[in-house]
Amino acid sequence: MEIGTKLVAFVNAGKNDDAMKELYATDIVSVEAGAPPGGNPESHGLDACLAKSKGWVAAHEIHGAEVEGPFPNGDRFAVVFRYDITQKASGKRFKMNEVALFTVKADKITREEFFYAMG
């Protein structure tokens, strides 16, 4: 719950990178709901997560972002994200809602899993 509250505070402040650097284990595993053909929905390690986040931010114009939670259960917590974004490549603007599930071990986030419908 404490880690979840910190994460939500970082995200609300727009400091997603700081959230990862502060709260993620170096061997964090990140699991997307899907990947492009030939791609791997799993990323391993803090550097890969930072790079994935950087790529996502670069590819989208973010008009609005809301975060709700944390919703805890044992050593995990869920967060609901709501984005209002334009995909730069297509110029398409859309809303994207997703649920993120985080697993905490020894005060570090060791796993993040994202749940969302594929476009």
Residues near a second copy, by CB under 8 A: 1, 31-33, 68-74, 76-78, 80, 97-99, 101, 113-118
From the CB of 82, what's the least distance to a second copy, in Å?
10
Cα dist from 96 to 3, 42, 103, 107, 115, whole Å: 24, 20, 23, 29, 11
Nearer to a second copy, 18 or 42 (CB): 42
From the CB of 91, what's the least distance to a second copy, in Å?
25
Nearer to a second copy, 13 or 35 (CB): 35
Nearer to a second copy, 48 or 78 (CB): 78
CA distance 9 to 40: 30
Please name which of 105, 111, 108, 82 lies closest in space to residue 95, comparing C-alpha atoms: 82
